[in-house]
Chains A and B, each alone.
Chain A
Amino acid sequence: MKEQTNILIIDDEEVVISSITKIATSEGYLVNSVLDAYSAFQKISSSKYDLIICDIMLSGMDGFQFLAELESKRIDTPVIMTTGYSTIENAVKSLYTGAIEFIPKPFTVDEMISVIRRGIKYSSLMKLKRTNDDSVILVPCPAKYFRLGYSAWMNKDHDGSVLIGATDSFIKTIDQIKKIELLNTNETLTQATPAVKFETEDGLIHQLYSVISGIVFARNERLLKEPELLEKDPYFNGWIYRIVPTELEYEMKLLIPCSSDRS
């Protein structure tokens, strides 16, 4: 018998709470919900949650303040941010300030399921890591790399182009990859918007956000034939796109240096 998984939803719209609740319960999770961030802290202090899904635009304390408050209270429950005001700025800011995922409203059922599944998996991975379980080894991304949230990385090459890919932790939060869908060369990527589609054995579709904006210069064609390359060598041979960045300097400021993971 598996241990019950608890999810806390913070949103000021009843219809959104009922929608997410419906989706999460259909997946067999236990769900609690509150209408504002203050009540969320009361809930967190009384019971344990594996995942929090939080709206950005809340009355009183907003989603970003909630994230900061969590960090200051050293509560490491993973948070998925969502908002109706789904701008790229909000997505990037959410991931930069500590959310593990960002999902814009309105989402489809499948999109929400994928995000929750990844969140729960991430949550359990972190738990195992804390208990120093040897069965899980997360390969950290190389020190000179930068990442967007926990899932995607970028590395500036000597010729000015930028390699981007998926982190080991992202690969480990999704099921066996069945199919990868890539953009064509010359297509435009925008930071924090979907860049890669992974179809996994469990029937879910996972979207990986682009780390920075740019134009696809080359894509790793090998991945289409050997998706397992991503699991074997996510940071080198498992690169996804080589892009010509368009706003590198500005966007790099919103990324987390992987060197900070090694402290």
Chain B
Amino acid sequence: MNILKINITVMKKTHYFVLFLLALSCQNLHSQGLESALTQGRISGNFQLEAQTYTQDSLINAPEAKERVLSNGFFNLNYNAGTFSAGLRYEAYQNPILGLDPQYKGSGIAYRFADYNGEFIQVTAGDFYEQFGSGMIFRAYEERALGLDNAMDGFRIKLRPTNSIELTALIGKQRFFWGKGDGLVRGGDMNIELNQALSLELPFNIKIGGSVISKYQYDSDPFLRLPQNVFAYSTRASLSGTSFLFDVEYGQKYNDPNASNLNSYNKGYGLMLSGSYFERGFSVAVAAHKLDNMDFRSDRTATGNNLMLSYIPPINKQNTYKLPNIYPYSTKLNGEVGLQTDVNYVFQPKSLFGGKYGTSLNFNYSRIHSIDTLHLNEYKYKSDFLSVGDRLYYEDLSLSVSKKLHSNFKGALTFMHITYDTDILDNEGAAKFGNTNGNIIILEGTYKFNAKNALRMELQNLWAKQDSSYFIKDKQNGDWALALLEYSYSPHWFVTISDDYNYGNEFEAKRLHYYNLSLTYIESASRIQLSWGRQKQGVICVGGVCRQVPASNGLYLSVSTSF
């Protein structure tokens, strides 16, 4: 009965969902299944709201918002009864916080679905997220920090004829703000666990998979003859044992002239290789990839992060510390060659370097280059798949030591070196800033007073220098220092105070402090955060996908809960 009451209260705003349930109940009034669904079902969901006030701060180029307060809100409501589930998401951008595309302005039901998930078959109607393999030719996902949501709206079928085989087929269109993209996406995916499927008794597991995607978009371009159906495929294999993992994936896309590749009719290629070895106290991971013309979207005219089909996991170190993220790397889907090595080693307790509690070491090296291309004409270029371009886009090297020094105190020291092609990454490739070389030192320590009270501290310094032949300072501009103190009274309260200081700015008037004070309260699944301070202009990236963040000065409120 409670469920019905909840449904009625939500009805005003969630008419799609309720209409769907009503339609279901009309058609199956006497169905045992429905009765049990309504009596045994469970409602779950979550809520998230972030709001920011904007005060003009001309020193950091922070604008004032006409509305004074901007906010983004999300409310997910899911109903689950055994094999059946349905749900929706209400979103309200009133108006979108700065940095998000203002085309999100408005509110409404942005996502709704119904799903039957039996043992053999799963059918989804409506909106869904999905990923084939690593995502090289298809990934529909949501990343709120980036304002990215390329959910599919259509049908998806998954078949599991045996425990070792899963087949997926889908058709639909992708979300484009409050509408749908022009392109129609069709695709299929297969995953097979070979050991089980062939009853092999091997000391390692073998998984293989393959995917196909084709998108259709009407060609009404008056200048070019464009392919209306563009096809892409990928194949992959994974070998895993108790101490190792090896993955390979290769994808290809047929001619796909689009806005991002400047109407190139070349095919696209992608190869990803990764291997890792791990044992107690030691692990090493190596990854490499080559991408050539792999920006694949359901609408050939789409730009920014809109209507993406392809996703390539980043190959550089993903930093959690703030100053290294001043120079984040965004994956160049249309051409890059990358290599990454990551090594972890633990000196055991009571060894020479381990001391009483042991010592952990992490070493990472990433290097990303352009690809070598030779333009044959306006629409075609030649690129040897095994060649590497001369231009270094990005390089990072980091060494980190973390150690528990006392029963109440643990610390970590990190050194990083970054080389960042600012023209490619911040300026569309036009000559302006040159490369930036950065050296970073980070010291982190946590002192636990007792089971409830702890104090965490971060000290970071970035020395950044641009190539001497360029005199225009990049947007990050010189040396930075950061100090952060976080006091936690667990499990409920967290107070953080931090200051990012751009002491090395070329212009004396811009040697500013970006202070921030934050108070967080957590109560089981609910979290409330209130912050006040300055946010520098920059770029945030999640998984190699980035967006611009404008400077801001004001109060920030975030409330989230799940039920």
Say whether A associates with B: no
Measured CB to CB, the residues of A under 8 A from B are none
